[in-house]
């Protein structure tokens, strides 16, 4: 599983429990699959499943970039105060400092991948 200090792994998604992170509401669940606790230094990778009416509070990241990739369902993504319908196969890129949120406004589960880099949102001193 590891070579020196670099770790690799194969993970079955069924083994990872669903988690409702802070500021996620109404059945906004995620499975954190790749993160610092699993050996990643630069990526946070998770699959999320939001039940109808579930949402995350509007927020912005200081330094992190994010990609959302919708796999199933539909919802509303708010970016800089404007709402957009997002559906299966849509990919959303969010640079740092952009206020955003996502909510399941549909009638089935909204399932999407979230890729975040870097793994922490701390500003580094120069």
pLDDT-derived band of residue 5, with 50, 70 and 90 as boundaries? low
Domain contains 113: yes
For residues 11 and 46, the answer to whether their CB atoms sit within 8 Å is no
Domain contains 42: yes
> What whole-number distance in Å separates Cα of residue 98 and Cα of residue 66?
10
Region 11-17: mean pLDDT is 94
Region 21-36: mean pLDDT is 96
Domain contains 28: yes
Mean pLDDT computed over every residue of the chain: 93
pLDDT-derived band of residue 51, with 50, 70 and 90 as boundaries? very high
Region 56-77: mean pLDDT is 98
Higher pLDDT, 7 or 93: 93
Domain contains 10: no
Domain contains 100: yes
CATH number at residue 40: 2.60.120.10
Q: Give the Å distances, CA to CA, from 25 to 51, 53, 74, 94, 119.
A: 10, 9, 17, 21, 22
Looking at 37-46, 61-70, 79-88, which range is the least confident one?
37-46
Please give the distance of CA 34 from its chain centroid, rounded to a whole number: 11
**Residue 37 contacts by C-beta under 8 Å, 6 or more apart in sequence?**
none
Domain contains 53: yes
pTM (global) more than 0.75: yes
Domain contains 5: no
Domain contains 80: yes
Q: Residue 33 is inside which H or E element, if any? A: strand 28-34
Q: What is the pLDDT of residue 114?
A: 98
Q: Which domain holds residue 86?
A: 24-117
Exposed / middle / buried, residue 34 (Cβ in 10 Å: 0-12, 13-18, 19+): middle
Q: What is the pLDDT of residue 2?
A: 47
Tell me how many domains the chain contains. 1
Please write the tens of the pLDDT for every residue from 83-122: 999 999 999 999 999 999 999 999 999 999 999 999 999 8
């Amino acid at each position: 599983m590891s070579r020196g200090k670099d770790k690799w792994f194969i993970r079955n998604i069924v083994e990872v429990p669903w988690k409702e992170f802070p500021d996620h509401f109404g059945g906004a669940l995620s499975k954190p699959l790749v993160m610092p606790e699993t050996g990643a230094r630069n990526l946070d990778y998770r699959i999320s499943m939001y039940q109808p009416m579930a949402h995350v509070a509007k927020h912005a990241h200081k330094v992190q970039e994010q990609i959302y990739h919708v796999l199933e369902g539909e919802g509303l993504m708010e970016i800089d105060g404007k709402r957009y319908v997002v559906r299966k196969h849509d990919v959303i890129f969010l640079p740092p400092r952009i206020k955003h949120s996502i909510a399941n406004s549909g009638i089935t589960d909204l399932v999407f991948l979230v890729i975040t880099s870097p793994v922490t949102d701390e500003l580094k001193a120069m």
